[in-house]
Amino acid sequence: MPEQIANKIKTELKKYSQSEKIKILQSFFRTGKGEYAEGDQMIAVSVPNQRKIAKQHLDVDLEVIAELLQSKIHEHRLTGLIILVYQYQKTPDLKQKKKIYDFYLANRSRVNNWDLVDLSAHYIVGDFLNKEKNRKILFYLAHSKVLWDRRIAMIACFAFIRNKDFGDALAIAKILLTDKQDLIHKAVGWMLREIGKRDQSLELQFIKDNLKQMHRTTLRYALEKYSKDLRDEFMFLHKKNRPA
């Protein structure tokens, strides 16, 4: 039964496929040989259309979502995650939220592209941990060898940042400052920028304290909303202070 329902959702998604955009998306999401999403398959269904279909299947069991997540097709997995986020947000039952949170972590190997992470991690993992004192799982993920685990750790912190709770976000950012992956540089910079929107002095102090370790992409993302003069000043200092 779960497989049949999942197949029905897949059929509905296929109706919205824009085949002329598949090659563009494959390039955008880096699905080529040796790239971070090697082998990920696309059918080119827009996120609004995925949300539309997801809303028609909000009551499916987790087994159905598991079937979608096992698909090699990107949009199948993303639609499954969109349904999961909707289910998490819809239920007032804390036990059910915990069940969804546990399910997400258990299936995170299928949350394996940047948009899949960005459209789910802070809504489920971050929100669930908002009220938890023990957030060790994020530090475990931040030290993972798996790129997507590390991005989940950083993006999940968006939920804390929105509540002006910056401590763990800054701690995770510091762990990831020397990461080798561009997608992590961008994620860290994005979260620092979000902190700066709420506490500019805190963000700038963190940047000053960690400028030597910070990747240029991270710095550029973090300073995106500041004046050109300030951005240029930090970029100059970064270039001057980075080890040769």
Q: What is the pLDDT of residues 27-80, one digit of tens each?
A: 878 888 888 878 889 999 999 999 999 999 999 999 999 999 999 999 999 999
Range in 21-25, 126-130, 136-140, 217-221 with the lowest mean pLDDT: 21-25
Predicted model pTM: 0.94
Q: Quote the pLDDT of residue 243.
A: 52
Please report which confidence band the pLDDT of residue 242 belongs to, taking 50, 70 and 90 as the band edges.
low
Question: 143 and 241: one domain?
Answer: yes
Q: CA separation (Å) from 215 to 42, 75, 111, 166, 218?
A: 31, 31, 25, 21, 5
Question: 80 and 139: one domain?
Answer: no
pLDDT in tens, 169-219: 999 999 999 999 999 999 999 999 999 999 999 999 999 999 999 999 999
Question: 168 and 183: one domain?
Answer: yes
Question: 212 and 93: one domain?
Answer: no
Question: 216 and 109: one domain?
Answer: no
The mean pLDDT value for 107-121 works out to 97
Q: Quote the pLDDT of residue 25.
A: 82
The mean pLDDT value for 153-178 works out to 97
Q: Quote the pLDDT of residue 237.
A: 86
pLDDT in tens, 75-92: 999 999 999 999 999 999
Above 60 in pLDDT, residue 101?
Answer: yes
Question: 97 and 171: one domain?
Answer: no
Q: Quote the pLDDT of residue 244.
A: 44
Task: Write the CATH number for 129.
Answer: 1.25.10.90
Q: Which domain holds residue 221?
A: 120-244
Q: Residue 41: helix, strand or coil by DSSP?
A: strand
Instruction: Work out the mean pLDDT of the chain and round it to a whole number.
Output: 94
Question: 225 and 131: one domain?
Answer: yes
d(CA 46, CA 141): 29
Among residues 61, 94, 113, the one where a domain terminates is 113
Question: 107 and 127: one domain?
Answer: no
Q: Which two tokens stand for residue 181?
A: 């992956």
Among residues 113, 143, 159, the one where a domain terminates is 113
Contact residues for 170 (Cβ-Cβ < 8 A; gap 6+): 195, 202, 206
Question: 206 and 146: one domain?
Answer: yes
Among residues 113, 138, 165, the one where a domain terminates is 113
Domain count, the chain: 2
Question: 89 and 125: one domain?
Answer: no
Q: Quote the pLDDT of residue 131.
A: 83
d(CA 124, CA 116): 12
Q: CA separation (Å) from 51 to 85, 105, 166, 193?
A: 11, 22, 30, 27
The larger pLDDT score, comparing residue 131 to residue 87, is at 87
Residue located via tokens 């709420």:
198
Question: 83 and 142: one domain?
Answer: no
Q: Quote the pLDDT of residue 132.
A: 84
Question: 100 and 145: one domain?
Answer: no
